[in-house]
Structures are given as C-alpha cells and as structure tokens.
Chain A
C-alpha cells in the first residue's frame, strides 16, 4: 500500500542504516544524527551525483592500464611470459577450458566495464531528467533494477585478485621459477575498489526525484 507521496515530500528522512523514519523540520539541516543507530542522516547521499561522476571517470582511466599491462610476469624456467588479464582468459580458451575462461572473462573484463557503462548511463539519465526529460515509470523501474544489479555484481570482480594470491603459491615449490608483479594487478585492484565505491556513492532515489506526481 502506498501513501501516495515520498518521504522527503512528507517531511521525513529515512535513516540509510537502520531505516528509522525521522521527521525533519526543514529540508536542509546541516547535520543530524539518527536517534536509533547514531549514524548521520541524509535526505539523499551527500553529493551523490558529482561523487559518482568523479569515481566513474577514475574507474574508466584505471581500466585501461588494468587491461593493457601485465598482471604478472611468470617465468617458466627461463622463459618470461607476461600475463595480462586478457591473455590469461585466452589461454584458458585455448586449452579447452572455455567454461572457466568465460567465468574469468565475465568477472574480470565484462563486469567492471558493464559497471562503469551502467553507472554512466544512470548518471546521464539523471542529468537529462533534471533538464526536463520525462522518462516513464517502467523505464525508471528498470533503471532502479539496473542499479541493484550493479551493486550486487561488483564484488565478483575480485576473482582475479584471489586467483593471483593462489598462483603465487606455485613459486614456493618450484613449479614456476619466478613471478614479477606488474602494474596491471595494482590498477585492476583499484578498479574493483573504485567501482564499488562509485556504486555506493550513487543514490537510486535520484532516478525518481524529478517525478512530480507519485
């Protein structure tokens, strides 16, 4: 059942942590604490739009070295073999393990890119709605779903970092002569963290805020 209006319009602020509804006398109070869980109350996540824009741009920039530079150079008995994330996936496909290859490809290459593209799309659509575009309800619903998917799927990009932490074990007993870390690995780790922060800084309520009638 709906009350027919948004919390903000009705003069309430919903605590993001414990979901307590708090009455706000004025729309823009400098700093308020949730009386139940003591976290800071925000009507909307602070500077959600510009923070997400900044983090998405940073993510796109780091995505380039993360994919171009080797994650690590593995030396198999005198034969150095620089491994980027993509060559890792290619090797899996060539040796017939296409299921695993597809998995690593999705988690490491596809998911970060789709996250960045998806967030950009959401940012652009919020910007356009503020400029007077009037997206329909169904579209807004789908956009909210897209955001939930982005939030959910982000952590799985860490897969490659965990793979790395097990691969280094191989050096210990001589199956691999040496492993040289590449800047690809650090860039990739930063992409994962930054895109997770980007999703956390975006506020899905922005998708609905310009809607006059509920």
Chain B
C-alpha cells in the first residue's frame, strides 16, 4: 500500500483533464477552477457543512410527506381518485411495464431516500465532531447514487401532467406534490452546498 499524499500538500488533480493544480487562498464564497479546462476544483465556504446538514434534515421530513400523502387528486364523472408515488409504480407493473416500474421506483423513491438518509448519517455526527462506523462507505455510496435520484425530473412530469390533462380530467395537485417539489429543490441545493473535499478531510481527521 502506498502512503497517501497529505491533502495538506495543496495539490489537486483536475477530475476532467488531469492537470495538477495548486490550491491557493481564495476569498470566502469563491471557487477555484482548473486553469486548463475550467472545472470547479475547490471552494471556500466555512459554513458549507451547516448548510448541507440543515438542508438534509429538512429534506428528510419533506420526503416522508411526499411518499405518504397523495401527489394528485383526479376527479372525473363525480368520483375522485388520488395517487401516491408508490401507486404509480404498482400500476405501471400491473400494466405490464415491469422494467419501467422498477426504474421509476428506484429513481423517484429508493435513491432519494437512500441519499438523504445516508447524508444524514454522515453529516449529523460530523457536525458534532464524531464519525459513525462505516461513514466513509456511506458517503462514497451517497456520492455515486446522486445523479440517479430524479425527484426534480418527477416534479417537472407532474407539471406536464396537470397541464396536459386539464380538459380530459380534473387533475389537481395535492399535499404530497408540494412536499415533492420542495424536496426536489432542497436536494439540488444540498448538492451544491456539499463541499466534498472538506467532508473527506474531516472523515479522515476523525478516524
């Protein structure tokens, strides 16, 4: 096993073009970019962890509401029917589209929950100055499933449905939908708030 280079040495390899950049002092709120290809390499935000954590906690509650309460209420010919996130998955599978159902299930329910739960497991203890067992594995997995959580895309799909069905049936959005849209926005905000370099540094120090 090779000795790891101290992160303090201040060298950063650009993930997009492999150029070795030197980390330098930047003003608060600024970002350091690769001099050759322009990729964002590091940032200076002392409150990044606080922000990411508070956004994550809020997302936990919103995800709960989004998954339990109906997303939409359809009324047609005097009767009304509501659907939750999970209903859509079951109805797709019922209709013979198992692969699509699985994909929708994973991207709209499982991955957002895993990601948010995983972040909470890593960030909350980190804020308190400790690190729980397996925190590195959890954070690694969270980073890799990030782009597979697609609540934001789902939120757009709801918008399209409401407009499209306006004349065919009376579709109104419901409690779950508001929570879902809010959760989607917060998850995007969380992604941009997270300072991955800082979190990995902390995870090592606490080991």
Contacts and interface: CB of A to CB of B under 8 A. Distances in A.
Interface stretch (B9-17, B45-53, B58-66, B124-132): B9-17
Nearest to A137: B36
Contacts, number: 235
B13 A14 contact: yes
A68 to B, nearest CB: 17
A7 B18 contact: yes
A36 interface: yes
Interface in A116-145: 137, 140-141, 144-145
A8 B18 contact: yes
Contact of B19 (A32, A38, A196, A214): A214
Interface string B68-109: 000110101101110100011101101111011101100110
Given A97-B164, A167-B161, A168-B88, A185 B17 contact: no
A23 interface: yes
B103 A100 contact: no
Interface residues of A, number: 80
Nearest to B71: A166
Nearest to A143: B37
B164 A165 contact: no
B196 A18 contact: yes
Max chain A C-beta neighbours (<10 A), residue from B16, B20, B147, B203: B20
Contact of B153 (A39, A155, A168, A190): A155
B18 A208 contact: yes
Interface stretch (A46-54, A56-64, A173-181): A173-181
B91 A171 contact: yes
Given A7-B18, A208-B36, A166 B158 contact: yes
Contact of B18 (A14, A22, A163): A14
Interface string A171-202: 11111000111000110011011001000000
Contacts of B24: 1
Max chain B C-beta neighbours (<10 A), residue from A190, A193, A204: A204
Interface in A63-85: 72
B99 A21 contact: no
A161 B97 CA distance: 10
A22 B158 contact: no
A100 B164 contact: yes
B100 to A, nearest CB: 5
Contacts of A158: 103, 107, 150, 153
Interface of B: 1-5, 7, 9, 11-13, 15-22, 24, 35-39, 71-72, 74, 76-77, 79-81, 83, 87-89, 91-92, 94-97, 99-101, 103-104, 107-108, 136-137, 139-140, 143-144, 147-148, 150, 153-154, 156-158, 160-161, 163-165, 167-169, 196-197, 200, 203-204
The 7 closest A-B pairs by CB, nearest first: A162-B157, A14-B13, A165-B88, A7-B13, A168-B91, A173-B81, A1-B22
